[in-house]
Amino acid sequence: MTPELLAPVGSWEALTAAVRCGADAVYFGAGRFHARQASKPFADDAALLDAIAYCHQRGVQVHLTLNTLVRETEMAAALAEAERAAGFGVDALIVQDRGLARAIRAACPSLSLHASTQLSCHTPEGVKALFEDGFSRVVLAREMSRDEIAACVGLGPEIEVFVHGALCMSVSGQCFFSAALGGRSGNRGRCAQTCRLPFCTDRRPGEDDRALSLKDLSLVPYLPELAAMGVKSFKIEGRMKRPEYVAAATAVCRAVLDGRPVDEMLASDLRAVFSRSGFTDGYYIARRDLAMFGARTKDDVQAAAPALKRLQKLYEKETARLPLSFALTAHAGQPLTLTAEDGEHTVTVTGETADGSREANVARLTEQLQKLGGTPFAAEHIEVDADASAPVSAINALRRQAVDALLTLRAKPHSHPFGALPSMPDAIPAPASPALWARLQRAAQIRDELVACCERVIVPLDTEEHTLAALGERAMAEIPRGIFGQSAAVREALGRMKAAGVTEALCHTIDAVAIAKDAGLSPVGGFGLHAANAAALAAYREDGVTAATLSTELSLRHMAFAACSPLPVGAVVYGRQPLMLLRNCPHRVREGCGGCPSRTGGEPRGLYDRKGVFFPLVCQNGCPDLVNSVPLWLADQPEALRLLPLSFWMLSFTTESAKEAAGIAAAYARARQGDPVPPPAAFTRGLTAKGAI
């Protein structure tokens, strides 16, 4: 079966471009909770209904994006948007927030739920877990290779893969850069595209001053290969791009899927209308090198102008995309009767009385019924049973009447009933005093003084057995956020740690949660799971998560919902906040991994922004984290922290020496007792004051 071609929509013109150029389905946002807040083409009810009707009349499905994180105070509004969409008859909802998904699954089981790429799913274990949680489709992370994609097919849910469009530098769903530096969260649809600004591996900007900017993805040559794998849906990125781009990308992919050669001029126009000095297939072919990097240049912009008018012609007219069957009866003295079938609906209309004084001209009657220009139909089969004639005007009127009746039926919303919401499990009271947890980048950061302050010490997978034994019950493993084809190796390492007495694993993705359970360890939710509301915590509890870390994009005020948590919860209160999880390291592609100090504790590699500010890189499992230039510090605000119903405070150590980590742990141990400790010279409050918008 030919895979679905899924096109982006950011305006009415883009909708017509997508449909007329061959999209099988479109996706767009229509309210407050979608990942392109600058794009609101169908914000009111009338516009949304019209868009859905337009698509359904033409056999095109509508996937509505509700793919942002939802705060506790916003859950009712987000559910109202989901209920509105269900009533209007959308075909699927694309969701990131696990709490929102849990509620929709219970209230509206007939509506398909698609797991957004923002859920960071990139392993077979994650795919199976999301399917068990009620998602009928999983949109895989964009950073995966062909072998990694193939391993995720055939496990239950449909698999959707991005095949064309912009690539974020960060692994899908694991970027906090825009939020941390400007308060605008990509996880809430307001990314400021910080990564497209100049960053370089050297203090002096030069040839690599776009060290966080990747070329756009294009997997067009690999569509037959992906189809053969069993990938269900091919997704084009670009809700913020021009209709001409949507038209070109859709038309090129449609040609390949239909087995037609791609017109060279069209392919050239697609490159011209939007690219960043060309396209890349680096992730797919597992060639993550310098050739993947690129930026939009003046030449790229100038090349687009002549292509735009040519591309507009692709969608200026209605496309006949639906087969139609007609059966006409014309008998003397009886009304003309026309029956039309489109494969879903059948209508019969009648007209004026047939003219028995004139002999029927079957060829002429057939010819008139074939004239379906300006409609989405093409006459595939026509039967004429006639012994009398009829004027052309009468046949044309019948044809128009039948087509209008079919379009009316096709536009009728197929509503999904929205019932009761799921109940919430009982809240777990927080302890009188929170525990102190230390998360370490390297086992070498452990000192007795640190261990004495902390109830949990979270260590990487390569920590040696004697160190684990010394930590005893305090030890917790951390599964890297980027696993990518290394599930077996991660599971083996967890087995070794379990044998040494470790019973828990910190998990930042649904992939990690599933692997931890497979290895017999209790999963503890990390910040990468984006717990931003009590319903999300309930969903993770159902997944087997035993405790969770709240989203780092919440303010302290936003964290108050922790009082309703069915799990013990904590918050990151110290550390260089991860800004981006990378799969293509800007240093590795230039210098290789040899001598990288990320694991040894030397001066870290990193990137400089246009003002010369240094952002370190720390690495786990081959996927480096770009972390903030300064650490979060809250030890001077113990009373504000102690008002929160938290079970633990997490200290996240990255570039700190063992001595520095021990001193910071001691400072927070004092703060836990109510004794404020002044911050260092350079620090940040993160998003704890206002939260990310």
pLDDT in tens, 335-382: 999 999 999 999 999 999 998 878 889 999 999 999 999 999 999 999
DSSP β-bridge partners for residue 437: 456, 650
User: Mean per-residue pLDDT for 100-105?
Assistant: 98
pLDDT in tens, 627-672: 999 999 999 999 999 999 999 999 999 999 999 999 999 999 999 9
From CA 62, how far away is CA 29, in angstroms rounded?
A: 10
Count other Cβ atoms within 10 Å, centred on residue 347: 17
From CA 43, how far away is CA 165, in angstroms rounded?
A: 24
From CA 79, how far away is CA 121, in angstroms rounded?
A: 24
What does 228-246 look like in DSSP terms, one character per residue? Answer: HHT--EEEE--TTS-HHHH
DSSP β-bridge partners for residue 482: none
Residue 156 CA: distances (Å) to CA of 138, 406, 544, 629: 10, 35, 20, 42
From CA 396, how far away is CA 370, in angstroms rounded?
A: 10
Which residue from 544, 542, 539 is spatially nearest to 524, judged by alpha carbons?
A: 544
From CA 652, how far away is CA 556, in angstroms rounded?
A: 18
What does 264-306 look like in DSSP terms, one character per residue? Answer: HHHHHHHHHHS-SSSEE-TTTTT--SGGGB----HHHHHHHHH
Percent of the chain with pLDDT over 70: 99
From CA 363, how far away is CA 373, in angstroms rounded?
A: 19
The pLDDT, as a whole number, for residue 300 is: 83
* Global pTM value: 0.96
Averaged pLDDT of the chain: 95
For CA atoms 618, 623, 629, 630, the dihedral sign is: negative
Does 255 score more than 80 pLDDT? yes
Domain annotation for the chain: domains and CATH numbers: 4-167+214-315 (3.20.20.380), 322-411 (no CATH), 435-576+631-672 (3.20.20.60)
Cβ–Cβ < 8 Å for 339, 267:
no
End-to-end CA distance of the chain: 42
Which residue from 3, 615, 4, 21 is spatially nearest to 317, judged by alpha carbons?
A: 21
Does 603 score more than 80 pLDDT? yes
The pLDDT, as a whole number, for residue 206 is: 58
Cβ–Cβ < 8 Å for 597, 575:
no
From CA 286, how far away is CA 468, in angstroms rounded?
A: 35
263-292 burial string, b = 16+ CB within 10 Å, else e?
A: eeebbebbbbbbbbbebbbbbbeeebeeeb
From CA 680, how far away is CA 670, in angstroms rounded?
A: 15
User: Mean per-residue pLDDT for 385-396?
Assistant: 94
Range of weakest confidence among 86-95, 138-147, 265-274, 672-681: 265-274
From CA 374, how far away is CA 60, in angstroms rounded?
A: 17
Does 451 score more than 90 pLDDT? yes
From CA 64, how far away is CA 611, in angstroms rounded?
A: 40
From CA 124, how far away is CA 310, in angstroms rounded?
A: 43
Which residue from 53, 31, 39, 47 is spatially nearest to 9, judged by alpha carbons?
A: 39
Q: Which residues contact 17 (CB under 8 A, 6 or more apart)?
A: 243, 244, 246, 247, 250, 314, 315
Q: How many residues does the chain have?
A: 693
